[in-house]
Amino acid sequence: MKAPVGSKLTERDVTPEAIYLNRRQYLKASAVGAAALMAPALKASEAAPSVDPAPLWLQSQNKQASSSPFSTTEKLTPYEYVTGYNNFYEFGTGKDDPEKKGQDFKPHPWQVTVSGLAEGTGTFDLEDLLKGLAVEERIYRLRCVEAWSMVIPWLGVPMAALLKRLKPLSSARYVAFETVYRPEEMPGQGSFFAAIDYPYVEGLRMDEAMHPLTLMATGVYGRSLPNQNGAPLRLVVPWKYGFKSIKSIRKITFTDRQPQTTWEKANAREYGFYANVNPAVDHPRWSQAEERRLPSTLFASNRVPTLPFNGYADAVAGLYQGMDLTKYY
Ligand code: MTE
């Protein structure tokens, strides 16, 4: 694993984001601010661009986001880490590859194909798929299986609202997701040394997918998703390890069989279908009892204990009642 983007540390790392953003707006509006923005100390603020490249309909849907009672009040992980320290193997396995090599990817126009056990199958323009669905801001912890974590202000629609409009049949017990396959825009997919099989695939049990915490994200930090975070549409399941949160979703399939998932195919002993965050079940090669909350440096590792279901146990533990979580990891 590569070193975190410590060199990008800014004042934002010690300033609550809301205060920071307000101040930034103020600075932008003033002549002093214009000069100050050019000063090296504030240069990294340009990393949070005010220009949103997404189509206007998506920008406007995201801008109307309401806040959610499901949001945590924990300190946000700075924008530079959320968008500069990523796992998106389609663009390379380095943490900074997705930001560096993801810029030629074109997330618009975008279509999603829905198939399997549902009435609403077909291929839909993203705009039609999302039309009329209310976007919420959900500030969630994201816990990667690699034992680092972030606190991320997502924008998105409750997955239940999206899936309901596709009218799944009662025989649908699982929903499978697939990332777009575009080796010409995603260098990792065409690489001879590809670490995993493409397209990336994931899946959830229907009750997990319909759970109120499960989000189909369309944005982050008040803007549409950058490519490296899974533009234009990605899953967010906050009580599961981050690899369940599949990016750049192109296909949704309702099925009665547990779908195969990319990491299970790559190494079933190390990565299971359920992947619920669980400090009591170690990864075969490392402990899951603690995590590094980013930003984390050599001198301030910022280790915090990992919580069962990533701190969402009250809301989701009931989904797994009676299941042996050491077996269904
Ligand atoms: N989705 C695709 N298509 N490809 C990936 O490599 N990586 C997963 C997940 N979704 C991945 C993916 C992993 S391991 C994590 S931890 C999260 O995305 C990281 O999301 P983030 O980069 O937005 O923090």
Q: pTM surpassing 0.85?
A: yes
DSSP assignment letter at 124: E
Give distance in angstroms: CA of 136 to centre of ligand 1. Answer: 21
Let me know if residue 247 belongs to a domain. yes
CATH number, domain containing residue 43? 3.90.420.10
Instruction: Please name which of 21, 27, 16, 19 lies closest in space to residue 222, comparing C-alpha atoms.
Output: 21
Task: Report residue 34's pLDDT band, with 50, 70 and 90 as the boundaries.
Answer: very low
- Asked if the structure places residue 51 within a domain, the reply is yes
Of 127, 112, 113, the residue nearest 54 (C-alpha): 127
pLDDT at 134 over 70: yes
- For residue 136, what is the enclosing H or E element? strand 136-143
> 3: which 2 tokens?
């070193």
Total tally of structural domains belonging to the chain: 1
Is 16 among the domain residues?
no
- Ligand 1 close to Cβ of residue 220 (< 6 A): no
Where residue 157 falls among pLDDT bands split at 50, 70, 90? very high
Question: Counting atoms of ligand 1 from 1, which one is nearest the CA of 247?
Answer: 1
7 occurs within a structural domain: no
Q: Is the CB of 142 under 6 A from ligand 1?
A: yes
Q: Is the residue at 14 inside a domain?
A: no
- Closest atom of ligand 1 to CA, residue 230: 23
The finding on whether 225 has its CB within 6 A of some atom of ligand 1 is: no
Q: Closest Cα to atom 12, ligand 1: which residue? A: 246
Q: Would you call 115 helix, strand, or coil by DSSP? A: strand
Structural domain span for residue 266: 23-320
User: For residue 96, what are the contacts with CB-CB under 8 A and spacing of at least 6?
Assistant: 2, 5, 84, 85, 86
328 found inside a domain: no
Candidate from 5-14, 91-100, 298-307 with smallest mean pLDDT = 5-14
CB of 226 within 6 A of ligand 1: the answer is no
Alpha helix segments (H runs only) across 102-204:
126-130, 159-164, 187-190
Residue 1 lies inside a defined structural domain of this protein? no
Q: How far, in Å, from the CA of 261 to the mean position of ligand 1?
A: 13
Tokens of 124: 């839909």
Ligand 1: atom nearest CA of 98 is: 22
Residue 26's DSSP bridge partners are: none
Q: Point out the ligand 1 atom lying closest to the alpha carbon of residue 248.
A: 3
Q: Does 131 reside within a domain?
A: yes
Residue 220 CA: nearest ligand 1 atom is: 23
DSSP-derived 3-state class of residue 123: strand
Residue 22 CB contacts under 8 Å (≥ 6 apart), including other chains: none
- State in Å: Cα 35 to ligand 1 middle: 37
Over residues 104-119, mean pLDDT? 98
pLDDT tens readout for residues 214-256: 999 999 999 999 999 999 999 999 999 999 999 999 999 999 9
Please give the Cα distance from 276 to 258 (Å, whole number).
Answer: 16
